[in-house]
Amino acid sequence: MVSVEFHQQCMRLALREAERAAEAGEVPTGCVIVRPSQHSIEVSPRVLARAHNQTEMLKDPTAHAEILAITQAAAALGDWRLTDTILYVTKEPCAMCAGAIVLARVPLVVWGLSDPKRGGHSVFSILNHEGLNHRPEIVAGVLETECREMFQAFFREKRGLKEELK
């Protein structure tokens, strides 16, 4: 069983990645994928991947934090199956990312901010669709306030810049 404190510790790592995205003008989504210690999950996770959105920088619509982190984690493990991992992301994965999570066999997905308008789970039920062969466990709302504040500040600033240019 993973403690709330462990989830918060790992989500803070994802929030740092989200800050990097915001600083680069990207939507502030950050993701980390960890592999818990075999001896005790509470000791220290092995961070397999850290990523943030890079769609603008790479001019690539698939360069979401989760996709980039899944690619890194697969390379680190030498296997596309990310069993025995936990994926932490600041905002609920979109449909594309949720599909990649299912295909990668990630057993546990933890996010901060749910996305009831575009979420791959909230709207499309991809992460728990009974027709799929893998359905990860989900923990939502970890450090939700911090994740929400980061998103709101980012978009407030973007709107403010647009207003100044008028």
Distance, CA of 132 to CA of 96 (rounded, Å): 15
Report the side by side order of strands in the sheet with 30-35: 46-52, 30-35, 86-91, 108-113, 137-140
Candidate list 5, 19, 56, 66, residue with the active-site label: 66
Is 163 considered catalytic here?
A: no
Query: CA-based diameter of the chain, in Å?
Result: 58
Provide the annotated active-site residues: 66
